Amino acid sequence: MASIRDVARKANVGSATVSRVLNNSGYVSEETRRKIEKAMKELNYTPNELARNLFHKKKRHYRDSCA
């Protein structure tokens, strides 16, 4: 299973840039977006939903404890 880091290496960009493409947030040039999407397709990348859910749960817990 490919990770964000694998996609970033293949597209020759940083993992934060891949994250911005996945989350459709921040600025990423069209050329870079195409390179990342091509790398994701070649690696058969699919987001890890378990990791994403754990991250959002941790983020929510932190936010609730700060309120």
The pTM of this model reads 0.74
Number of domains in the chain: 1
pLDDT at 8: 98
CATH number for the domain that contains residue 47: 1.10.260.40
User: Cα–chain-centroid distance for residue 67?
Assistant: 28
pLDDT in tens for each of the 67 residues of the chain? 899 999 999 999 999 999 999 989 999 999 999 999 999 999 999 887 776 677 666 555 445 555 5
Residue 28 belongs to what domain range?
4-66
What is the rounded distance in angstroms from the CA atom of residue 67 to the CA atom of residue 41? Answer: 41
DSSP string, the chain: ---HHHHHHHHTS-HHHHHHHHHT-S---HHHHHHHHHHHHHTT----HHHHHHHHHHHHHHHHHH-
